[in-house]
Chain A
Amino acid sequence: MNLTDDMATAHDHADHGPAKGLKRWLFTTNHKDIGTLYLLLSLTMFFVAGIMALVVRIELFEPGKVWVTPEFFNQMTTLHGLIMVFGVIMPAMAGFANWMIPMMVGAPDMALPRLNNWSFWLLPFAFLLLSLPLLRELVGMASHLIGLNLFAGAGAAPDYGWTFYAPLSTTYGPDSTDYMIFAIHMMGISSILAAINIVVTIFNMRAPGMTWMRLPMFVWGWLVTAFLLLAVMPVLAGCVTMMLMDRHFHTAFFEAAGGGDPILFQHIFWFFGHPEVYILILPGFGIISEVVQTFSRKRLFGYSFMVAATITIAFLGYIVWMHHMFTTGAPYAAQLFFMYATMLIAVPTGVKVFNWVTTIFKGELTFETPMLFALGFLVMFTIGGFSGVMLAIAPADYQYRGSYFVVAHFHYVLVSGSLFAIFAGVYFWLPKWTGHMYNETLGKWHFWLSAISMNLTFFPMHFVGLAGMPRRIPDYALQFTNFNQIATVGAVIFGLSQLLFLAIVIRSCQKHKAGVNEHLPDNVWDGGRSLEWTRLPTPVPYHTFETVPEIGPNDTH
Chain B
Amino acid sequence: MAHGTYYLPQPSNWPLKGSIALFLTTFGGANWLHHSTFFGLEFGPYLFVLGLAMVFYMMFGWFGTVIRENRAGLLSDKQVDHSFRWGMAWFIFSEVMFFGAFFAALFYARLISVPVLSGEQAHYYLTHLIFWPDFKDQWPILANPNPAAFIAPKSVMEAWGIPAVNTLILLSSGATITVAHWALLKDKRPLMLVAQSITILLGIIFLSMQAREYTIAYMEKGLTLASGIYGTTFFMLTGFHALHVTIGTIGLCVILYRMFRRDFSPTNHFAFEAIAWYWHFVDVVWLFLFILVYWL
Contacts and interface: CB of A to CB of B under 8 A. Distances in A.
The judgment on whether A and B are partners is yes
A105 interface: no
B145 A258 contact: yes
Contact of B16 (A27, A234, A268): A27
Interface stretch (B3-11, B260-268, B279-287): B3-11
Nearest to B69: A7
Contacts of A264: 105, 108-109, 113
Contacts of A67: none
A231 interface: yes
Contacts of B95: 234
A232 interface: yes
B19 interface: yes
Interface stretch (B29-37, B191-199, B205-213): B29-37
Contacts of A238: 98, 100-102
B10 to A, nearest CB: 5
Contacts of A257: 132, 144-146, 149-150
B229 A259 contact: yes
Contact of B228 (A7, A122, A183, A259): A259
B27 A129 contact: yes
Nearest to A116: B15
A238 to B, nearest CB: 3
A121 B58 CA distance: 14
B226 A249 contact: yes
A253 B109 CA distance: 8
Contact of A261 (B4, B22, B86, B108): B108
A218 B124 CA distance: 47
Contacts of B1: 11
Interface stretch (A13-21, A283-291, A364-372, A455-463): A13-21
Contacts of B79: 204-205
Contact of B145 (A4, A19, A259): A259
B187 to A, nearest CB: 29
A547 B2 CA distance: 10
A182 B47 CA distance: 15
Contacts of A235: 97-98, 100-101
Contacts of B145: 256-259
Interface stretch (B60-68, B153-161, B215-223): B60-68
A9 to B, nearest CB: 6
A19 B26 CA distance: 31
Nearest to B233: A253
Contacts of B39: none
A10 B23 CA distance: 30
Interface string B63-82: 01100110010100001001
Contacts of B3: 14, 108, 546
Given A14-B3, A186-B26, A258-B149, A23 B11 contact: yes
Interface stretch (A55-63, A192-200, A390-398): A192-200
Nearest to B14: A114
Given A7-B69, A113-B8, A129-B23, A259 B230 contact: yes
A186 B112 CA distance: 32
A32 interface: no
Q: Which of B11, B104, B112 has the most CB of A within 10 A?
A: B11
B141 interface: yes
Contacts of A204: 79, 82-83, 86
B90 A125 contact: no
Contacts of A117: 12, 15-16
Contacts of A546: 2-4, 6
A129 B31 CA distance: 12
B46 interface: no
Contact of A230 (B12, B93, B116, B149): B93
B22 A109 contact: no
B97 A230 contact: yes
Interface size of B as a range: 35 or more
B113 A29 contact: no
Contact of A260 (B12, B20, B83, B229): B229
Interface in A137-180: 175, 178-179
A249 B86 contact: no
A478 interface: no
B97 A231 contact: yes
Contact of B108 (A3, A186, A233, A267): A267
B61 A1 contact: yes
Given A10-B74, A267-B108, A255 B13 contact: no
A196 B88 CA distance: 9
A414 B29 CA distance: 34
A117 B228 CA distance: 42
A7 B10 CA distance: 8
A540 B226 CA distance: 58
Interface in A329-347: 329, 331
B19 A122 contact: yes
A389 interface: no
A118 B33 contact: no
B179 interface: no
B124 A258 contact: no
A253 B229 contact: yes
B15 A118 contact: yes
B23 to A, nearest CB: 4
B117 interface: yes
Contacts of A189: 22
Contact of A179 (B19, B22, B30, B117): B30
19 contacts: A1-B61, A26-B16, A113-B8, A114-B15, A114-B62, A118-B15, A122-B18, A124-B19, A179-B30, A200-B90, A234-B100, A238-B101, A248-B33, A260-B113, A261-B116, A267-B104, A268-B101, A546-B4, A548-B4
Q: Which 6 A-B pairs have the closest CB atoms?
A: A238-B101, A118-B15, A259-B229, A182-B26, A257-B146, A14-B2
